[in-house]
Structure 1
């Protein structure tokens, strides 16, 4: 991530009335419920982003998703990225509001519509959430999501084994497996060479097997 990108999500000293931030979050939570029911995040959530908003999340040590501007957010972040997940639910379970800086952190789950043999729902374990900066006018300036990547991968392995992944999600996984970047994705560093990958694999294998 460039220095400019880091600066763009540094919380400013921009105070807002707590009542306004609480109202913003209530509107947002209701819009999320409506989006889940309709399977349409673009229509219900798009109006909550400022024209110059930034939406991002990390996807491991060398990959980042960034959508810049409301149109990219609507087209990619809550458009393309949500394809194949129309029946998933993302219930919030805790919210922290800092009115002195105009920022909010919401913690949520990622729950699939499919059940395990024991009757429980498949869901991504660990901590997941969104960090928002409010910019007035009932819109976000930026949103930074975070989730447990290891648990996300494990959940998708389980869903694949159960045979319930949608065709569009399978296609996304196939593209990623071939080393293709999905829309909005970018590398953080140059790719490792084949020699470097092999060296690192042998090094960690030696440590695991021999303790050195």
Structure 2
């Protein structure tokens, strides 16, 4: 584990949150790729059998910030709390997942539960890995509600039909998340 000055980690999160806000504004997250090391790993779990894994900037841009974000260009992911451990060079940021689309009563569709990202900092204002966590059952429920209400766009309807058959999706036995956090 490498420690870093707290002020540097705080600045990294300021840059990260600003880049996230810009991505939300334009509906394109791929510019955030520069905030990762060339060999970074970005992953999340999707239940008992499936993991998503992108290795390196190209896969992160193409898959994590590309195909996985397609159809979500109206969504916002505001950070609500950030915890920084400068001794370990790690950060956890908790965020919400709020659709741009609204229900008949004017409320926004939002994925319930806890959403967040766990990052390992590598210096030079770049992450060496990112592990997201969010409630996939609640995500599915919101997408089904939006579809029923006629508010789920065509791209997301196709993704729901396809399921986890997108680039980067692996069987859990093919990726040992715990080996990456050492």
Q: Same fold (TM over 0.5)?
A: yes
Structure 2 residue aligned with 1:126 = 113
- Structure with greater strand share of residues: 2
Structure 2 residue aligned with 1:175 = 162
How far apart are the structure 2 equivalents of 1:20 and 1:53? 19
Q: Larger radius of gyration, structure 1 or 2? A: 1
- Structure with greater helix share of residues: 1
Number of aligned pairs? 174
Deviation at 1:64, TM superposition (A): 0.5
Cα distance per residue 1:40-91 (max 9 Å; x no partner) = 1002x11101000000001111010000011100111001111111111000
Structure 2 residue aligned with 1:152 = 139
Scaled by the length of structure 2, what TM-score is found?
0.92
Structure 2 residue aligned with 1:15 = 3
Deviation at 1:117, TM superposition (A): 2.1
Which 5+ residue runs of structure 1 have no aligned equivalent?
1-12, 191-212
Q: Which has the higher contact order (CA 8 A, sep 6+)?
A: 2
Say whether residues 1:164 and 2:151 are aligned partners.
yes
Deviation at 1:118, TM superposition (A): 2.1
How far apart are the structure 1 equivalents of 2:52 and 2:58? 15
How far apart are the structure 2 equivalents of 1:150 and 1:76? 21
How far apart are the structure 1 equivalents of 2:57 and 2:118? 17
Deviation at 1:189, TM superposition (A): 5.0
Instruction: Give the counterpart of 2:14 among 16, 26, 43.
Output: 26
Which 5+ residue runs of structure 2 have no aligned equivalent?
175-182
Q: How does 1:52-131 map to 2 (within 5 A)?
A: 52-131=39-118
Cα distance per residue 1:23-55 (max 9 Å; x no partner) = 000000000010100111002x11101000000
Instruction: Give the counterpart of 2:27 among 39, 42, 45.
Output: 39
Structure 2 residue aligned with 1:201 = none
Scaled by the length of structure 1, what TM-score is found?
0.80
The root-mean-square deviation of aligned C-alpha atoms, in Å, is 1.2
